[in-house]
Structure formats: C-alpha cells, structure tokens
A and B are shown apart, each in its own frame.
Chain A
Amino acid sequence: MPQKIYITGLGIVSALGPSLEHTVEALRLGRTGIRKIKHLKTRYRGILPAGEIDFTNEELAEMLHLPSIKRYSRTALLGMLAAKQAWQHDEKLPLRTGFVSATSVGGIDRSELAYKHFMVNNDIRGCLHKMMSHDCGDSTERIADFLNIRGFVSTISTACSSSSNAMILGGRMIQNGMVDKILVGGTDALTVYTLNGFHTLKILDEEWCMPFDKNRRGLNLGEGAAYLTLESEESMKISGSQPLCELRGFGNTNDAFHQTASSPDGAGAYHAMQLALKRGNLDISDIDYINAHGTATPNNDLSEGTAIKNLFKDYIPQFSSTKSFTGHTLAAAGAIEAVISVLLMRNKMLAPNLNFHDRMDELNIEPVKIFNQDVELKTVLSNSFGFGGNCSSLVFTETA
C-alpha cells in the first residue's frame, strides 16, 4: 500500500466570500455568488454574470497587510489570501516542505493593461512593471515568498484541471518520500482576456448557469483561489497537525478528442474517475457524492454525465455542480471544489446544484436539488476537466 496522504489545512476565497466560514454559510443558504460583473473593466460590465469577488485589489492588499499592491497581480493577491488560511508551519521543525500552485491566466490581469497601453501609445514605457507579473510562475513565487516556503516550488497549467493536478503532484511527491508536507492548490483572477475568450467560444450563459439541466446554455466564469496542506502520517506526528480527511485516490488522463470539446462518451472523464477509484483501492459503491465538473455547457455536462453513467451504471451517487455557486474559476476550480468537498464531508451536508429544473433528454440523471443536512459522506469524488483534453479526478475519504 502506498503511503497515505492527509489533508491538514484548507483555505479558500471565491465569490462566496474570503473564508471557509463564508463558503459553508453560502452553501447552506443556497446563496450563489454569481451576479452581474461589477469590478472588471470590460464592456460586459453590468451585462454578463460572473462569480466575481467583491473586493478591489486595494482591499485585498489591505486584508493581507501588504504595504503596496503595485507589484501584485490579482491572481497573486487572491492566492495569498487563500494560501495563508491553509498553511500553518513552524520552520524549525525538521520537515521537507513544498508548494505547487496552479494558474491559467497568471498575471494577465495586469499585462493586458500593459498591452493596451502599448497599442495606444506604441511604447511600453510607463507600464513595464505590469509585464513582470505576466508569467504563471509569478503568482506562485509571490505566495511562496509571502509564506516563506523555501522547498520545492512549482506551477502547473493544464487549463481547467490545473489545481487538481497540483494536488495530484503534491500527493505523489509525499507518497514517493520527496516531501513531508506540501501546500497545493490554485488561483485565477477574472480577466478581460478569459472573459472574451469564452465569450468568443459562445459558451457563456447570459443568465445564471444551469448545470446538468436540459436547457443549459453555457457557463458563468468566476475567480478565486483555494489551497490545501497535504501531509504524510510521519509529518503529522512532527507537526502535530490533525487530519481533516484523506486524499485517497486520483486519476489523470487525456481525452485526446478535440482541443476544446469533450468526447461524446466522455472517455477521458471515465478513465480519470476509474483510475482514481483504482488508485484509492475503492469500488464504485463506495462513492457517496460526486462534486461534478458540471460547467453547464451543453458539451461538458452531457459528456461528463455519460461518463458517470457508464462508470456507475445502476448505482449513480448523489452529485452536484457547485459552479452554480462560484462560477467556473478555471485553474482554481479543482482546488475550490476540493475544499468544498472536504467542507461538505466535515459538516455532513450536501450542497445543491442550483438552477436545475429538467433532466437532459439523453440521460436520465438528476443532481442534488436542495440542501441536505446530516448526510454521512464517507467518500467523495471530485472531477475537473479542461481544454486540451486534460481530465482529473480526486477521491477524498473520511479519516478513521
């Protein structure tokens, strides 16, 4: 048996609020964080809905007690806010630590302003500093420096599955004895770049998104960050951390079908879930709940639903997409939904899939429609899929 991987710390910021408590409260009340864009400077402000975090960069910097926001991308600021909650560490302890973060936009929230400046003035001077945070590694190093993590530091970008993959890498490094304790997760800010990208792909819903509904029209974008501390059993003995749950299994595959679309039978998703169960030494009947990828695009939900049906057959667990609360936070989605999954397990509750009315014609499946309390969730599966065919599934189990 491979070494167990324990989750000992959680941190989150999303449209539901800047803490675990805010997140649980919103899920309990069935209160979505998605509303018309208010802060992002775009022509779609006030028009398109998104899971935007209701804090300006200045406010975020204040919450973090930073002297100045000048050098920080919004992606870094959100990441710092979530990572700070998840990471407690005494540097004097003899533990090998690390940090793996995920992002798809990196610091584009600042560099897109610099590009605009360049195109208007044909000169980059005056906003060069906005270019320095463009690459994906920038936010990771900002967070690592903020928390003073000096061990292994890296960044993953596999589109919308990115932060699930950060968790997979962190877990494998613990199992292979490369680190004892590692912070994993992801962060992505809402940007004009991604908003226009998804708008041009014609997969944004102009109203609240409706995951798994027959009449779903598309997704709502979101922004946010979430991080989890992973530790080995040995590390917990030294650090004194208490386990919140176990990262029991994981699977990573490629759908190898199309650059942006998922295959009709959800082959990649099917294999990712199957691998996660296998690696966790679990049976389909062990799964109590699936936190689905459920973007609410016509393509994803049919493909994912088909994969779930093919894998679980007559035993389809309870499932829901909490993107109806947070919006699709891209590279952060996997970690945000991992944190939500752990919160649901710990609080014995089931989060509803908001805005669901009618089952899809092709599949006779129905997500959780209302909030449920006192539900025993021993084992939870969480899916994240992305452009480029990247598919990842994670399984969390209660600790004995």
Chain B
Amino acid sequence: MNNQVYINALACISPQDTLNAEQFLQSSEFVSGSPMRSIEPTYKEHIDRRYLRRMGRMVRMGVAAATKALADADIKNPDAILVGTGMGCLEDTEKFLRAIYESDENIASPNQFIQSTHNNVAAQIALMLGCYNYNFTYVHRGFSFESAMLDAILHVQEAGENKTDILVGACDELTDMYLEVTSKLNIWKSKVPRHSLKYNMGIKSEQGEGAAFFAVSNQRSQNTIASLDALRMVYKPQSSARLTDEIDHFLARQSLTLDDIDLVLLGYDGGGQKGDVYDEVVNSVFDGKNQAVYKHLCGEYKTAGAFATWLSCEMIRQQHVPEFVKWNAFEIDTIRRVLIFNNYNSANFVLSLLSHV
C-alpha cells in the first residue's frame, strides 16, 4: 500500500454492550446466550423516524451503526459507502416468501420485496445523507465485510494526495427460520476445540448477528484509532502448507516477522475445526503467540470479521486486552499490532493487520 488507511471512527451493535466500548472492554463479564442476538439501541436516537418506519431489523442495526460512525468522524458526505452482508435482509426475504405462498402469488404490497434487496443498507444510508457517491454492497460469505474493506483500500490508493473519507461496514441478522435451518444442519453444534482452557470462559459460539461500521480515511484525524496496514483473503487453500505460505508472504510484504505481532485474534467458532487446516495452521504458525478469540462474544455469522475488526481497534485504542478474550495466558503492556486470522466455514480465510498509530 502506498497510502496509509486510517480508521478514524467506529461503531458496533452486537450481542455485547459494544456501543459502550470502554465499559465493555474494561469489564470482566460478557453476555452469553443461545442464540446470540444483538442488544439493540433505541433506534429513534440514531435514525430519523421517517426512514425508521419501514426498515427491517438488519437495516436498523446497520444504519444506526453507520450513522454513529459518521457522526463520530464528523463526516456528512463520504466519498464511498461500502457495505458487506452475508445473508442480506433475511427477515424481509422470509416475509415476502411467506406472502407468495399464502396469497398463492397474489401479493398485495411490494414493500417486503423492496426492503429485501441486498443493497438496502447502503442505499438507505445514501438516501438519508443525500450522498451521490460510489456505493457498493458485497455479499460473499466470509469475505463480505473484507471485500468492502478491500474496496476502501482501493479508494485510498486511488485518492493520491486528495483527502478521501469512506464509510465501510457490515451487518447480518439472525431469524427464527435461519436458526431452524442451521440447527437441523448441525452446522454449529458446539464442540470445544481440544485446547485446554485456562479460564473457564465456556468458549462455544452460537449463531450470531450484528453490525459494525468504520469511518476510514487516507488522512489522520485527532481521533484516529488505528491503521489498517494489510488485508488478504484466501479462498479454499488446498493445504495447510499453502495457508502457511500465505501468512509468511503477508508478513513479508509488510517487512514484518511474527515477533512484530503483539496479538493474534482468532476466528475459532467452536464448531468442527478440530484438526482441520485452520486449526493446524494456528497451532503451527501461532504457537507461543498471544492469542485471543471473539466468536463467543458475537456468535458465528458471515460478517463476524467486522466485529473482530471493531474489537481489535478498541483493544488498540484502549491498550487493553480483556481477560474474556484471551485464548492462552499472557500479559501485555503495549499493543502495537494486532493480526486478525479469521475463518469462515473452512473456505474463507482472512488475514488483517491493524496497528497503533
């Protein structure tokens, strides 16, 4: 990367009290439950009632988090709005499918159809801001959020000397139907990986949901939280050796070694990863590193990587690693660099490097 990518503001709605970031990171407790549903704010404090009325849950979560990130960064008209969502507006999709069935294809209102399009969150934000600029929505499983972030990196590179401000984020929602399906599929039957847990955290991720948005810029502000130094998506590597190579190259391109990484945030979902490529690579490459996990906090979903990014930024900002995310035992004085090594369904692997500025 030629230009630096700064994260100047952020907001997260999740099953934890993440809108109160300081309190959450400094506390010794976290919310656990099954399934993991978001703690939703009073939306009318964040979103104009005129728009709020028709919005489904996911759109509300997304727009509220986006609005807060923009307000904190004092941005009124971002140069790009980039959103990732793995499943899109599931609730409205299900409602419209139900209407098709119940009316025998004689549906009265198009509202749910309109609200169910995947680009709804990005569109609503543009509409509310009156923002004519670049507007993209990414919908690729465990790469949805990261694709949006990659687009932000492209924008920063293209901006050259000109200031550019970008809104990037992700959201996904959990519905009863989705839960029904996934529980029958046994996707997330909890199996605790073989690691002995020093702390009795009950690491076991359920299905989750949430929204996290970031104000990204090529210029620092007084409130800059971190910089995103590198991002890499790896699609279905054929072997653990291939994935290990990717990590080596990723660090080498940044002229870094593992010694430069203070903390690795891992994407264990408590599901069937024992002994698979991901687990093998974590154990061989990151053995002895300070390791943390996060999916017990937000649950597993396709854009959980946005939560991981939010958590990494907050740990860097507050220079604090909560006990409840530690995967092994360590004490840490200074957090300069956090490496997120995420995994979705053993197909979508992500490396993301954030550093203190």
Using CB atoms and an 8 Å cutoff, list the residues of chain A in contact with chain B: 42-44, 103-104, 106, 108, 112, 115-116, 118-119, 124-125, 128, 131-132, 134-137, 140-141, 144-145, 150-159, 165, 169, 172-173, 176, 178, 192-193, 196-197, 199-201, 252-260, 267-268, 271, 386-390
Contact = CB atoms under 8 A, between A and B. Distances in A.
B122 A136 contact: no
B342 to A, nearest CB: 15
Contacts of A132: 185
Nearest to A255: B132
Contact of A115 (B87, B97, B109, B124): B97
Contacts of A267: 132
22 contacts: A119-B102, A124-B180, A132-B185, A135-B86, A154-B143, A154-B147, A155-B140, A155-B147, A157-B117, A157-B119, A158-B135, A158-B137, A159-B118, A193-B96, A196-B100, A197-B110, A197-B113, A201-B110, A253-B132, A254-B133, A254-B134, A258-B127
A135 B139 contact: yes
> Interface of chain A, helix or strand or loop or mixed?
mixed
Contact of B117 (A44, A137, A388): A388
A254 B88 contact: no
A125 B180 CA distance: 10
A128 B185 contact: yes
Given A196-B100, A389-B127, A104 B118 contact: yes
B107 to A, nearest CB: 5
A279 to B, nearest CB: 10
A55 B109 CA distance: 32
Interface string B203-238: 000000000000000000000000000000101111
B151 A169 contact: yes
B132 A256 contact: yes
Nearest to A44: B105
Contacts of B130: 256
B128 to A, nearest CB: 9
B100 A172 contact: no
B75 interface: no
Interface string B166-186: 000000000001001100110
B40 interface: no
Contacts of A137: 86, 139-141, 143-144, 302
A259 B233 contact: no
Nearest to B98: A119
Given A116-B101, A152-B233, A252-B134, 17 more contacts: A103-B139, A104-B118, A115-B94, A131-B185, A135-B88, A135-B141, A136-B139, A144-B235, A150-B235, A153-B140, A154-B150, A154-B233, A193-B113, A199-B107, A200-B108, A252-B136, A254-B134
